[in-house]
Amino acid sequence: MKTVCRVLLPAIVLFACSRSGLEADLDASTTDVTCATCKSMPASCGAFDDGCGKTLHCGSCVAPQTCGGGGTSNKCGCQPSTCGALGDDCGNALDGCDGVLSCGACPPGEICGGAGANKCGQKPCTPTSCKALGASCGKVSDGCSDVLDCGSCALPSTCGGGGVAHQCGCTRATCQALGASCGVVDDGCGGTLDCGACTGPQTCGAITVNQCGCVPVNCGTIDAHCGTMLDGCGGLLNCGSCNHRKVCIGSGPANCSEEGETCRPTNCARIGATCGPAADGCGGLLNCGPCTNPQTCGGGGVVNHCGCTPTTCDAQAATCGAINDACGAKLDCGLCPNGKSCVNNTCTK
C-alpha cells in the first residue's frame, strides 16, 4: 500500500504513515481506461464508438470499394458480381469491383449491345468514349460490348480517391484512422495533419510515436531514500521511512537527516504551485487545490498550474464547420468545396 507521511511534532519530528484522501484522489485520477482506436478494432473506414463516449472516424474507401462492402464491418471491400446477376448476355462487362467479366457471344444475326449495353439484339450500337463520359481514369463500359480503360492517376491521387467516380483525387486520412493522438503526421495526400497536443503530465511520443504518454520516475532515478514522492506521471512513490529521531529532507533527492535534525515543510505559495499535489520538501505532499473545468492541473503544460490544451480540427476529424476546442472556445474547420454540404462537420455530397 502506498503511504503518505505527516509531521506530528514540530520540534522532535516523528512520522505517522497512513493512506490519505490526497493519495486516494491520485489513485482515482490515474486509473487506466482503455478506449478503442481505429487500429485496435481494427477499422479502416466508417465511424464507431470508442467505448469512452467519443465517436471515431476511421476514414473512407476508394470506389468501387465501400465501407463494409466486402462483408466485414468497418473494412473497405467489394463483392464482385457475375454476368448472370448483372443480366449481361455478351461481351466484356464490369463486375462492380473494377474487374472485367467475359459474358460470351450473341447468337447469329444479333449483335452485342443491340438491346442495350451487353445485351444481344439487332439494333446497331455505337460505342461511347472516355471523353464523352467525362471519365479521366479507371474502367467504364463503352455502352455496347466492351470496357474502356480511361487511364490512371499520378500519386498520391487515385481514381475515385477524392470521392468522385472516374476522377483523380485524394481523400486525406484522419488522425483517428492513423491511430495518432498527438503531433503532426502525413495525411496521405501530400499534406499533414495536426493531431493536437497532450495534456500534462503526458507528452507526445514519450513512449510511442504520435501517442500521448508518460514515463514515471522511481525512487532510484530521483535519488530519494525516504518519504512520499511524485512519480512525474500523476502517481505516488513510497521511498521508505527514517529511523527514530531522523526525518526525511528533500523532494528528490531526499535523504534521512542526522539524528535530532528537523525539517520545515514548504507551502504551495512558496513554490508557486496553484493546484494539485506537490512535494513539501520533507518527504510529504502538499495539496495545492483543484482547477475549474475545463481546466485541469498541468493541462496547459505547466506543472502545478491550471490550464487547458485545445484540440484541433484534424484531431476530431472535422473537415468543415465549427467545433468546440475542449477549452471553452470554438474552432473554425473551414468550408466545403462546391457541390458538397457540411454534415456533422464532414463534407458530403
Residues 138/168, Cβ–Cβ less than 8 Å = no
- Residue 324 lies inside a defined structural domain of this protein: no
3-state secondary structure of 131: helix
Examine the domain organization and report whether 151 and 220 are in the same domain: no
- Residue 76 lies inside a defined structural domain of this protein: no
Q: Quote the pLDDT of residue 4.
A: 35
Q: Quote the pLDDT of residue 339.
A: 83
- Residue 346 lies inside a defined structural domain of this protein: no
Q: Using alpha carbons, list the distances in angstroms from residue 29 to 26, 240, 291, 348.
A: 5, 23, 14, 39
Q: Where a domain ends, among 278, 295, 312?
A: 295
User: Within the chain, which residues score under 50 in pLDDT?
Assistant: 1-31
- The string of pLDDT tens digits covering residues 83-127 is 999 999 999 999 999 999 999 999 999 999 999 999 999 999 999
Examine the domain organization and report whether 220 and 163 are in the same domain: no
pTM for this entry: 0.73
Tell me the residue range of the domain where 95 lies. 91-171
Examine the domain organization and report whether 165 and 95 are in the same domain: yes
Domain count, the chain: 2
Q: Quote the pLDDT of residue 33.
A: 63
Could you give the CA distance from residue 332 to residue 320 in angstroms, rounded to a whole number?
7
Q: Quote the pLDDT of residue 32.
A: 55
- Residue 313 lies inside a defined structural domain of this protein: no
- The string of pLDDT tens digits covering residues 275-290 is 999 999 999 999 999 9
- Residue 284 lies inside a defined structural domain of this protein: yes
Examine the domain organization and report whether 161 and 230 are in the same domain: no
Examine the domain organization and report whether 167 and 225 are in the same domain: no
Strands 330-332 and 228-230: unpaired
Residues 17/241, Cβ–Cβ less than 8 Å = yes
Strands 192-194 and 184-186: antiparallel
- Residue 106 lies inside a defined structural domain of this protein: yes
Q: Where a domain ends, among 277, 295, 313?
A: 295
Q: Where a domain ends, among 171, 204, 239?
A: 171
- Residue 81 lies inside a defined structural domain of this protein: no
Examine the domain organization and report whether 165 and 220 are in the same domain: no
- Residue 240 lies inside a defined structural domain of this protein: yes
